[in-house]
Structures are given as structure tokens and as C-alpha cells.
Homo-oligomer: A and B are copies of this chain.
């Protein structure tokens, strides 16, 4: 009788069942194509599994408002890419007593995470550039207090020092906040060093794209004048207009999707053991790097 009118109130149901069928996603910014791919996978996977996704984007400056919003919300689980290595939000989030999975970045104290081997990635980038004969390398990264950039830098520097037996020159490392403006400035900085680098490792493809844009704008050809190696192997990297050499994972499932699968497992099954996954990286050798 009420057949064609009645809509059960999901809020009332949530109140009694104590589950909202909603997950919170705290993602890095979408101007980084890596996060467009993970966000797409996560939202669509959650939908298939019957979950709604509340999306929040990491702020460049201060994440407190985002975390406060999430903390105030009742969700069944949290997926986040934005944590710092030694982030105090780790405890606050875990005090919620709901499943939490970190993807991309991880926290010093562990927890559930899905990452790529960042140190290995950095060393793959370095040895690729070194093998091509480059000796004057630059690195444009993000904040060192994130596991991703810390790991990539560490691996890159270590491999350089292993090859050449000399310290990597500090001034060839530029840490940015990964925004377009900051990366453009980094390019200006690096190209004005007394010995300009012949090759740059951009610690994400997003950084690589910004850097290539600026380099071309100020008159450099890639890879003729300077080689660029990115990381994440984002879809756009293989576009003919970029042909960006990049480090990326091997399998087809991105870190976000793997994280989402495990998060929903953790929500629905008994909290077996921690999920701590480190994917193996590999080099996707395209056209933005060439022998010197």
C-alpha cells in the first residue's frame, strides 16, 4: 500500500544499527593525477560494495579542519593518503576504534597501510639516470615529513652515493609543497645553480608535469636539454604529448583500490591481522630521459 511512497530513513537506521555504510576518504589533491585514479577506484569500489564515500581533500597548509570534520562524523572506516610520518592525528583517528587504512603514505608506527617501496623507487630513478651517463642530478620532491618523499629521496641519494662514492650535493635537492607555483620556483632554482642539472628526478608525476611546463616555458627542450624522470606512472604519463619516463607499481590495481578492498574487509570481517603491503616498483622507460 505504501508501496509507491515510502523511503526508509537511513539516518534512523544508522542510529540503531550503529553503522552508516559510509567511509571517509581523505585524499591528496586531484591536481595530482595519482589521486584522480585512486579516488575514482575507491569511490566506485565502495559503491559496488554498498558503501557511500565521504570525500575530503588534504589541505596544503593545515589539515586540522579536515580531520575535525572527519572526527565529528560517524563513518564505518577511514581511508587516508595524507598522513605524515609522525602525525599526531594517528592516535586520534585510532581512538575512534574503527578500521583505518592508509594508502600511498604511511605512518612511522605502522597501522594498516598500502604503499609502494619508495626507497627502491628512488634508487631505481637514480640508477636509471646514472646509467644514461648523467652525473649532475637534481631532485624536486615534497615534504620530508611524508613517508613517500622521505623514502624516495633517501633511495635516490643512497644510490647516487653508492655509484659515485661521493655525497649528493644538498643544493640539488629542492623540497616543495608540490603545488604548481612551488614546483615552478623549484625549476627556477635548479636551473640557476652554478652547475645546472642535466637530469631531474621529480618525485611524483604531478611534479614532473609542472616542472616540464616551466622548463619548456623558459626555453628548455625535454629530453634534449634536460632529462626528466617522474614517479607514479600515472595514465597521462604515457600520453604521446608527454611520454614521461616514470617509476610505478607493476600490478593493475592502484594503491587506493587495494586500500579500499582491505578497508571494507576490515569493516565486515573480524579484524584479523594488520594489513601492511609494500608494492614493488619498476621503471617505465619512455621519452623524457635520454643519454647525456
Query: Using a CB–CB distance below 8 Å, which chain A residues touch chain B?
Result: 7-12, 14-15, 20, 22, 29-31, 36-37, 39-40, 43-44, 47, 52-57, 65-66, 69, 71-74, 209, 212-213, 216-217, 235-236, 239-242
Contacts and interface: CB of A to CB of B under 8 A. Distances in A.
B235 A212 contact: no
Contacts of A20: 11
Contacts of A213: 239-241
Nearest to A53: B55
A10 B72 CA distance: 7
11 contacts: A7-B71, A9-B74, A10-B73, A11-B74, A31-B36, A39-B55, A43-B55, A47-B65, A52-B54, A55-B55, A216-B240
B57 A43 contact: yes
Residue from A52, A66, A71, A242 having most chain B Cβ neighbours under 10 A: A52
A39 B40 CA distance: 12
Contacts of A15: 9, 11-12, 15
A53 B239 CA distance: 32
Contacts of A9: 15, 74
A59 to B, nearest CB: 8
A9 B74 CA distance: 7
Residue from A55, A56, A73 having most chain B Cβ neighbours under 10 A: A55
Residue from A20, A43, A240, A242 having most chain B Cβ neighbours under 10 A: A240
Contacts of A242: 241
Contacts of A69: 47, 52
A260 to B, nearest CB: 13
Given A31-B235, A55-B55, 8 more contacts: A10-B74, A11-B20, A12-B15, A30-B37, A30-B40, A47-B66, A209-B241, A241-B241
Given A15-B15, A36-B36, A53 B54 contact: yes
A56 B65 contact: no
Contact of A43 (B36, B56, B240): B56
A40 B29 contact: yes
A54 B54 CA distance: 4
Nearest to A14: B11
Nearest to A238: B213
A212 B241 CA distance: 8
Contacts of A11: 11, 14-15, 20, 74
A9 B12 CA distance: 12
Nearest to A244: B241
B31 A40 contact: yes
A65 B216 CA distance: 45
